[in-house]
């Protein structure tokens, strides 16, 4: 083998080896930093420890649940309440604790109107990025505030961003929360398209997500919420709280935890 061919061959082997080493190092921190069961919660003791996550249900009645996240806010929560009142619709508001603390009158007003109050952590915390102690403190702090304002502690949690793992589920189990996710969503940037899709695809038991706080709410979202509630009410649907939806489904044996039919106020 001449010198030129030898150098080329060594160069190829070296490049291939370097690529392999680079690929190995890219994967290695994931394997050594956190194994697949590193965040698996294992509660002690023999007592039941259950958290049920619900994306949708399937009642025979034409029931649908609106869930409204990230508030309250002075700009958008009153507009949402006005729209819901116009269509005799009920909803579940998942409250961020620090925003509820800043606008407690809006929490009371919402509860007095018959809407359910749910827990959305104290500061919109991603539960998958914190340990069990942090998650429990965040949810308990919000729970205490909502209970003080409304006289009824929340029974439902929505994890911010819809992100939750076994550690967060263990916290929810310990607080006796049901976890509410969603089957449809309305975004601020694409509200008309999202509502068009919901009107075509939603069915009894759907759970719809939208926001009255954070970066999502805008005039278009409010307009499309009005269109959604009006159109679906005209089609024979009734907008209920998540707890009412779960109770109706549980009575028919179609899934979902058994919860009281009366709403937390």
Catalytic residue, candidates 194, 211, 226, 263: 211
Catalytic residue, candidates 69, 70, 194, 263: 69
User: For this structure, is 130 an active site residue?
Assistant: no
Nearest in space to 71 (alpha carbons), one of 158, 141, 5, 162: 158
Q: Output the pLDDT for position 45.
A: 84
Given a cut of 90, whether residue 147 has pLDDT beyond it is yes
For helices 77-86 and 104-112, the axis angle rounded to 10 degrees is 10
For residue 93, the SS3 value is: strand
Q: Which band of pLDDT confidence, cut at 50, 70 and 90, is reported for residue 255?
A: low
Given a cut of 90, whether residue 239 has pLDDT beyond it is yes
Residue 38 tokens read as: 């590193």
Given a cut of 50, whether residue 265 has pLDDT beyond it is no
What is the chain's Cα-based Rg? Answer: 24
DSSP letter, residue 37? T
Torsion of CA 160, 262, 54, 209, to 10 degrees: -50
Q: Is residue 212 within 8 Å of residue 72, measured between CB atoms?
A: yes
The helix (H) or strand (E) run that includes residue 75 is none
Q: Output the pLDDT for position 33.
A: 58
Q: Output the pLDDT for position 44.
A: 81
User: For this structure, is 211 an active site residue?
Assistant: yes
**pLDDT (mean) for 49-70:** 96
Residue 38, CA atoms < 13 Å, CB-side half-sphere? 11
How confident is the model over 4-28, as pLDDT tens digits?
A: 443 344 333 333 333 333 333 233 3
């Amino acid at each position: 083998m001449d010198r030129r061919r030898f150098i080329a061959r060594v160069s190829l082997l070296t490049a291939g080896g370097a690529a392999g080493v680079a690929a190995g190092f890219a994967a290695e921190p994931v394997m050594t930093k956190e194994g697949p069961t590193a965040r698996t919660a294992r509660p002690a003791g023999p007592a039941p420890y259950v958290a049920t996550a619900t994306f949708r249900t399937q009642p025979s009645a034409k029931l649908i649940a609106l869930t409204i996240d990230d508030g309250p806010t002075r700009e958008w929560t009153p507009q949402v309440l006005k729209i819901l009142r116009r269509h005799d619709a009920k909803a579940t508001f998942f409250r961020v604790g620090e925003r509820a603390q800043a606008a407690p009158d809006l929490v009371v007003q919402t509860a007095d109107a018959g809407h359910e109050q749910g827990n959305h952590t104290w500061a919109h915390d991603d539960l998958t990025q914190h340990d069990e102690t942090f998650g429990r403190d965040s949810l308990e702090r919000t729970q205490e505030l909502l209970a003080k304002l409304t006289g009824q502690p929340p029974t439902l949690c929505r994890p911010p961003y819809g992100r939750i793992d076994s550690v967060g589920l263990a916290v929810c189990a310990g607080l006796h929360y049901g976890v509410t996710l969603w089957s449809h969503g309305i975004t601020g940037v694409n509200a008309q398209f999202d509502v068009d899709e919901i009107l075509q695809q939603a069915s009894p038991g759907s759970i719809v997500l939208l926001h009255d706080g954070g970066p999502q709410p805008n005039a278009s979202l409010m307009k499309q919420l009005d269109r959604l509630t009006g159109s679906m009410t005209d089609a024979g649907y009734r907008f209920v709280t998540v707890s009412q939806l779960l109770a109706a489904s549980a009575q028919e044996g179609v899934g979902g935890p058994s919860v009281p039919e009366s709403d937390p106020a």
